[in-house]
């Protein structure tokens, strides 16, 4: 871990991983997407709409996963001052927010035929909505300072505060949901046929590798931007 | 002056700084700074704008982290630092007396110390005035009166003479000189030569960054 | 501990001098609550049903208003630097400022809420639960809010940023605060919900002053 704190060394490692991640991402999509959309069986209750699950569930997972990476990166940035950890955290935020938004959007598309309305205050969807706002807060805070370092540190603390709060929010929303709306149908309640599992795992893999590819690209861009900034400061001094 | 101080002061107070360097806004502004002060001495920090005078003082006060180097205070529990920055920290809504009273209570100073501080800075006439009605010079004096309330042996002052007229520059000089003579340590950053001779001087321009910025 | 009360005393004295701030927050709370009957119609059944929610949401917004200058006043006149270098733990400084903030915003709002509850035609049985819920819940708002105020200190467009950072973290208190009032209003036992609110308060009291102090350190760097 400490060995990769050095940005240059990290970039070398990234250059090795990158082509593999791209290859695996394409592979998973190429096999998983046709399986999910065409070859997997329709649900006996929901029919063809169940195919939204192959996007919805991996998005939800990635939304949470990216937040976990963000919190872990922020913690190691605050404790050990690892510049790369902070860059990974910063790079994860927009991707995580995008996946969370995708999860909400597919949830609404799925809800339309299931509930007859695009939005129901389902406990899981509501928690994802709050998660989306936590991402927005993190990104807005990080960009709001004249000194980039101050923004990084403030946002890192917010990521940790958010990660402490996330389980509390989840617990609260679950309780609130059970009080107001005894769930008739929850998205978690889909009985997953064993034939649905291979395409689902492939889609999760595809999303995961996509995330790795984009995070590495963003970290690389950040390292280069930091070098440009440092060079400019040198000239100004 | 400041009798509370000499009682609480340890026989030998040291402030040792070695190999200090600082970064601000992504670049190193000074590097390899070392000095050592013992009780009864003072240090004047000079240097052009942006050379890191304020940064050094804020690091000494514990408000900023240094990039490298060590600051050692001896004895560990008695060698406290009292910091006075560019801004006085006076609350505009409170009177001068209330402002000083707050710091006195927080520092655990007695009424006698408060009266002496008021007397020393000649603040009697403005005691019941809200601080936001004071002119800059009066505010400065009221702000610096706080130093005399604490028991910290080390005073760190950033441009204490700003906004003061000649008479009050002499007044501050006297207070600082007395503090040093009573066995305290004074570190001050200033453009203006003080009326007393500081025992040590540092020019920040002599400690420029040496290492390359793009280290990775 | 002594310095804790000295610091509270200073902030309270300051807020008495600037009492317009407290009055404005209470005024905002009252006028915003009064807007709802105009917006959703004065039918007793409807207002009674949503009253607790209106009070809590408005209390969240009102407490947010005053957070803006919780630390920024001290930051601007340099007092924050002096407080952080004084022989007092930064967490004590933060805890004292949070307590003073609650005494000048959360407490007045709690006292004002029963009167506004009448305007919202809430049942008289829910008056005591309302006061209790706000009494336990509003300190948590001040605690969490202080972290946000410290994190956004020195940020651009702070007025917009602060709600974005803080409001998502307020959601659990909103849920259980409203739940406690509604459950007791319907004649059920709500002790468990008050206990959850109390648990939130204890957790926030343990973590928030520390987090806010760390954030202040970063802000003054």
Chain C's closest residue to A135, CA to CA, is C165
A147 inside 8 A of chain B by CB: yes
What pLDDT is attached to residue C16?
Answer: 92
What pLDDT is attached to residue A181?
Answer: 53
Convert the pLDDT of each residue in B52-86 to its tens digit: 899 999 999 999 988 889 998 888 776 789 999 98
Which chain A residues are Cβ-neighbours of C207 within 8 angstroms? 164
Cα C210 to Cα A160: distance, rounded to the nearest angstrom = 13
Half-sphere exposure (Cβ direction) of C136: Cα atoms closer than 13 Å: 24
Q: CA dihedral in degrees (C22, C28, C33, C37; nearest 10)?
A: 150
> What element of type H or E holds B177?
helix B166-181
Label residue A85 by pLDDT band (50, 70, 90): very high
In this prediction, residues C56-69 reach a mean pLDDT of 92
In this prediction, residues C90-118 reach a mean pLDDT of 95
In this prediction, residues B173-202 reach a mean pLDDT of 87
Cα A22 to Cα B109: distance, rounded to the nearest angstrom = 68
pLDDT surpasses 70 at B7: no
What pLDDT is attached to residue B11?
Answer: 60
Chain B closest-CA separation from residue C78 CA (Å)? 4
Which chain C residues are Cβ-neighbours of B93 within 8 angstroms? 14, 17-18
What pLDDT is attached to residue A236?
Answer: 67
Preceding amide of B75 cis, omega within 30: yes
Residues 123-162 of A with CB under 8 A from C: 130, 133-134, 136-137, 140-141, 144-146, 150-151, 153-154, 157-158, 160-162
> b/e string for B37-73 if b means 16 or more Cβ within 10 A?
bebbbbbbbbbeeebbbbbbbbbbbebbebbebeeeb
CB contact under 8 A, B85 and C78: yes
What pLDDT is attached to residue B191?
Answer: 81
pLDDT surpasses 80 at B27: no
A173 inside 8 A of chain C by CB: yes
What pLDDT is attached to residue B205?
Answer: 85
Interface of B with A (CB under 8 A): 25-27, 209, 213-214, 216
Which chain B residues are Cβ-neighbours of A220 within 8 angstroms? none
Q: What is the DSSP letter of A47?
A: B
> What element of type H or E holds C32?
helix C19-40
What pLDDT is attached to residue A23?
Answer: 94
Label residue B209 by pLDDT band (50, 70, 90): confident
Chain C closest-CA separation from residue B171 CA (Å)? 22
Which chain A residues are Cβ-neighbours of C151 within 8 angstroms? 141, 154, 157-158
Which of the other chains make 3 or more beta carbon contacts under 8 angstroms with chain C?
A, B
Convert the pLDDT of each residue in A172-228 to its tens digit: 988 888 776 544 444 555 556 777 888 889 999 999 999 999 999 999 999 888 888
In this prediction, residues C9-26 reach a mean pLDDT of 92
What pLDDT is attached to residue A237?
Answer: 59
Cα B193 to Cα A126: distance, rounded to the nearest angstrom = 65
B83 inside 8 A of chain C by CB: yes
Is the pLDDT higher at C180 or at B4?
A: C180
A237 inside 8 A of chain B by CB: yes
Backbone region of residue C122 per phi and psi (left: phi > 0; alpha: psi in -120 to 50; beta: other values): beta
Tell me the three state secondary structure of residue B72.
strand
What pLDDT is attached to residue A191?
Answer: 58
pLDDT above 70 as % of chain C:
100
Question: Which one of A140, A160, A173 has the shortest CB-CB distance to C164?
Answer: A140
Give the least confident one: B7-16, B77-86, C78-87. Answer: B7-16
What pLDDT is attached to residue A4?
Answer: 54
Label residue C145 by pLDDT band (50, 70, 90): very high
Q: What contacts B140, CB < 8 A, 6 or more positions away? A: B88, B160, B162, B163, B164, B168
Q: Could you give the C-alpha distances from B145 to B5, B110, C53, C74, C152, in angstroms and in order?
A: 14, 14, 51, 19, 32
Label residue C186 by pLDDT band (50, 70, 90): confident
Is the pLDDT higher at B208 or at B94?
A: B94
CB A133 within 8 A of CB A165: no
Chain A's closest residue to C169, CA to CA, is A165
pLDDT surpasses 80 at B1: no
Is the pLDDT higher at B133 or at B3?
A: B133
Is the pLDDT higher at C167 or at A115?
A: C167
Convert the pLDDT of each residue in C130-139 to its tens digit: 999 999 999 9
What pLDDT is attached to residue C6?
Answer: 95
What pLDDT is attached to residue A165?
Answer: 92
> What is the pLDDT of chain B when averaged over all its residues?
85
Q: What is the DSSP letter of B95?
A: B
Tell me the three state secondary structure of residue A13.
helix
CB contact under 8 A, C156 and A146: yes
Cα A170 to Cα A188: distance, rounded to the nearest angstrom = 15
Q: Where are the domains of chain C?
A: 2-219
Q: Number of CB pairs < 8 Å for A and B?
A: 24
Q: Where are the domains of chain A?
A: 17-38+47-236
pLDDT surpasses 90 at A110: no
Where does residue A48 rank: exposed (0-12), middle (13-18), buried (19+ CB within 10 A)? exposed
Which of the other chains make 3 or more beta carbon contacts under 8 angstroms with chain B?
A, C
pLDDT surpasses 70 at B5: no
Which chain A residues are Cβ-neighbours of C204 within 8 angstroms? none
Label residue A10 by pLDDT band (50, 70, 90): confident
pLDDT above 70 as % of chain B:
91
């Amino acid at each position: 871990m400490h060995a990769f704190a050095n940005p240059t060394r990290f970039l070398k490692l990234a250059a090795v991983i990158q082509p593999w991640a791209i290859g695996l991402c394409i592979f998973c999509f190429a096999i998983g997407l046709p399986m999910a959309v065409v070859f997997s069986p329709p649900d006996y209750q929901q029919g063809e709409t169940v195919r939204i699950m192959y996007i919805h569930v991996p998005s939800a997972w990635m939304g949470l996963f990216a937040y976990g990476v963000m919190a872990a990166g922020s913690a190691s940035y605050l404790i050990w001052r690892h510049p790369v950890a902070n860059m990974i955290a910063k790079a994860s935020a927009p991707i995580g927010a995008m996946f969370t938004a995708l999860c909400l959007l597919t949830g609404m598309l799925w809800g339309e035929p299931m509930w007859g309305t695009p939005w129901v205050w389902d406990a899981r969807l509501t928690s994802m909505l709050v998660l989306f706002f936590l991402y927005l807060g993190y990104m807005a805070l990080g960009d709001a300072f004249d000194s980039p370092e101050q923004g990084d540190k403030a946002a890192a603390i917010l990521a940790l505060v958010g990660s402490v709060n996330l389980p509390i929010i989840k617990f609260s929303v679950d309780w609130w949901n059970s009080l107001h709306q005894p769930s008739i149908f929850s998205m978690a309640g889909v009985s997953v046929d064993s034939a649905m599992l291979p395409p689902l795992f492939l889609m999760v893999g595809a999303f995961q590798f996509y995330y790795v590819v984009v995070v590495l690209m963003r970290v690389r861009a950040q390292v280069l931007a930091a070098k440009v900034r440092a060079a400019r400061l040198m000239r100004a001094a | 002056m400041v009798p509370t101080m000499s009682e609480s002061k340890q026989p030998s107070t040291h402030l040792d700084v070695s190999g200090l360097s600082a970064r601000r806004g992504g670049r190193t502004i000074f590097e390899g700074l070392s000095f050592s002060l013992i009780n009864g001495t003072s240090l004047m920090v000079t240097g052009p704008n942006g050379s890191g005078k304020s940064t050094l003082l804020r690091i000494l006060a514990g408000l900023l982290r240094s990039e490298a180097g060590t600051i050692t205070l001896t004895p560990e529990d008695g060698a406290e630092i009292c910091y006075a920055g560019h801004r006085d920290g006076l609350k505009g809504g409170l009177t001068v007396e209330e402002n000083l009273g707050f710091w006195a209570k927080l520092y655990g100073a007695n009424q006698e110390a408060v009266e002496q501080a008021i007397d020393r800075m000649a603040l009697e006439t403005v005691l019941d005035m809200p601080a936001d009605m004071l002119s800059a010079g009066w505010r400065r004096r009221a702000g610096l009166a706080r130093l005399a309330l604490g028991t910290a042996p080390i005073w760190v002052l950033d441009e204490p003479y700003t906004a003061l007229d000649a008479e009050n520059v002499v007044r501050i000089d006297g207070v600082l000189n007395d503090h040093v003579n009573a066995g305290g340590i004074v570190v001050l950053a200033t453009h203006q030569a003080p009326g007393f001779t500081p025992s040590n001087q540092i020019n920040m321009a002599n400690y420029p960054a040496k290492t390359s910025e793009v280290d990775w | 501990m002594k310095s804790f009360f000295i610091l509270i005393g200073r902030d309270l004295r300051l807020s008495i001098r600037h009492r317009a701030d407290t009055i404005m927050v209470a005024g905002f709370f009252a006028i915003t609550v009064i807007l709802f009957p105009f917006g959703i119609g004065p039918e007793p059944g409807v207002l009674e049903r949503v009253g607790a929610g209106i009070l809590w949401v408005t209390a969240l917004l009102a407490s947010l208003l005053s957070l803006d200058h919780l630390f920024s006043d001290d930051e601007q006149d340099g007092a924050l630097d002096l407080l952080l270098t004084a022989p007092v733990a930064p967490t004590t400084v933060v805890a004292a400022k949070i307590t003073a903030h609650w005494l000048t915003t959360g407490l007045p709002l709690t006292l004002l809420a029963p009167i506004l509850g009448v305007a919202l035609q809430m049942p008289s049985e829910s008056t005591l639960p309302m006061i209790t819920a706000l009494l336990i819940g509003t300190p948590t708002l001040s605690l969490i809010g202080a972290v946000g105020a410290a994190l956004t200190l020195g940020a651009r467009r702070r007025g917009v940023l602060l709600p974005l950072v803080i409001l998502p973290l307020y959601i659990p208190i909103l849920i259980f605060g409203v739940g406690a009032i509604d459950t007791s209003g319907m004649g059920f036992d709500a002790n468990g919900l008050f206990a959850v609110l109390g648990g939130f308060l204890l957790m926030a009291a343990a973590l928030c002053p520390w987090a806010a102090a760390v954030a202040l350190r970063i802000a003054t760097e």
